[in-house]
Amino acid sequence: MKRLVINLDRSPDRLAHTTAEFARIGLGFERVAAIDARHHPELMLQRQHPLHAVQRLSGSEIACLHSHRACWTIIAQDDAPYGAVFEDDIVFSAKAGALLADTSWIPADADVVKLETFFHTTVIQRERFSVGGGFSLFRLRKNHIGTGGYLLSRQTARALLEATAEVNVAVDSLIFDPAFATSSGKTIYQLVPALCAQEQFVGNRLPSLVEPGREAEWVASGLADGHRMPALARIRREARRAARQITDLCRLRRQIVVPLAPVEAND
């Protein structure tokens, strides 16, 4: 299984970080040159998915999608049934090496396995599949944002390439948001505890390269004007949230903030 890392040419510090992380877990990786929004302004002219009509994708978000597409192309053309994709700010659990060196633990029906946590509340199926080393797999039933680390089947890589051939979409929504057919039609597992997380949540030394552009689009769209949600809208939101919780309980699902497995090895 290939382990691919997306890295901008102008970010040697992040490459050094990733190199140290893989050395720490005893594995190698293949660097994939990231698409730089500064050098490809034409990407902003491409059609965006209708769900981005209110808040347009920033140049950095679009470049991020095309960087992941470069990885999907490699996986789609490879002989291995799965490939792993990582962004260059990832921090690994101390036990990550054993799982990333092997694919026998991946369920035969898995299209995607999310390896990371974004420390946001999500929903998983209660049914648990142990994969050893203290890790388990659960079906992911709600959006869990972030594409810092995930496994992808060869067939799914081809499907994602086809889905984004003529339209730009936020890459984490494309893969993990059930509002998108590319996600709802796939068998997606969440690894618990997570195998990795972005460094901004662990050490806060490598800030997101996408977030500044996203915030600028929020301002441009008028969504960051500081107005509070009307009281009636807040009540309706809470009512929907309570209804979802009841529905999840009936469907044998549970809410979870996916923890990160210990980064340091236990003595």
Decide if 267 is inside a domain: no
Decide if 263 is inside a domain: no
Question: What is the mean pLDDT of the segment spanning 244-261?
Answer: 76
- Strand, coil or helix: what is 158? helix
Range of the domain at 131: 2-257
| The overall pTM is greater than 0.75 | yes
Decide if 265 is inside a domain: no
- The CATH number of whichever domain residue 118 belongs to comes to 3.90.550
SS (H, E, C) 180-237: CHHHHCCCEEEEECECEEEHHHCCCCCCCCCHHHHHHHHHHHCCCCCCCCCHHHHHHH
Task: In whole angstroms, give the CA distance from residue 236 to residue 239.
Answer: 5
173-212: per-residue pLDDT in tens? 999 998 888 888 899 999 999 999 999 998 877 776 655 5
Provide the pLDDT for residue 219: 45
| pLDDT greater at residue 243 or residue 152 | 152
| CA end-to-end span of the chain | 30
Question: Is the separation of the CB atoms in 70 and 35 below 8 Å?
Answer: yes
The sign one gets for the Cα dihedral 254, 194, 99, 210 is positive
Decide if 262 is inside a domain: no
Decide if 186 is inside a domain: yes
Decide if 214 is inside a domain: yes
Decide if 28 is inside a domain: yes
How many domains is the chain built from? 1
Question: What is the mean pLDDT of the segment spanning 78-87?
Answer: 97
SS (H, E, C) 88-119: CCEEECCCHHHHHCCCCCCCCCCCEEECECCC
